[in-house]
Amino acid sequence: MPKTVKDYIRTIADFPHEGILFRDVTTLFADPRGFRMAIDQLLHPYAGERIDKVVGLEARGFILGGAIAHQLSVGFVPIRKKGKLPGRTLAQDYKLEYGEAIMEIHDDALIAGERVLIVDDLLATGGTCAAGIKLCERLGAEVIACAFVVDLPDLGGRALLEEMGMEVHALCAFEGL
């Protein structure tokens, strides 16, 4: 029976805290067939669409986003945690389960009117991606969709992004935390 993307993802119990089932995509990335399958499936819905840039969210979104940008022959833009980018940046705060964090993008990374695809490995609460969407829109870009390998639907991220008017594409889902 052929493998699916989900078959390549390892689950690690009690990481980073007791009671959490961590969905580890590094096993997917390490397998050439699995990695190729994930990249192909992430970009397939957007074949024939105009995409000017792929935006990757720190950190595993860089791996996926870079590969997708290469396949589409478009530029790649990183959105990073506060203090990691060397040039002038725009910042956007967002809520975490316990507190807040800040994401940043270079203030010249996108041009008004560019169409972007945001990519990350996992969609949980949606806070990081929502901050990324806001940063792209503040630069005048149009976010056409958000693509993920894993969706954790019980944490509500998909609903949050869809309420923002975003198309959400995920290759697989895992129930629970």
Residues identified as active-site: 60, 97
Question: Could you check whether the bond before residue 153 is cis, i.e. omega within 30 degrees of 0?
Answer: no
- Residues whose CB is less than 8 angstroms from the CB of residue 124 and which lie 6 or more positions away in sequence, other chains included: 152, 155, 157
Report which of 106, 40, 95, 45 is spatially closest to residue 68, judged by C-alpha positions: 40
Of the candidates 162, 103, 161, which has an alpha carbon nearest to the alpha carbon of residue 131? Answer: 103
Q: Which amino acid belongs to residue 65? A: G
Contact call for residues 161 and 168 (beta carbons, < 8 A)? yes
Say which residue the tokens 């998909």 belong to. 158
What Rg do the C-alpha atoms of the chain give, in angstroms? 16
Query: Is-contact 42 171, C-beta < 8 A?
Result: yes
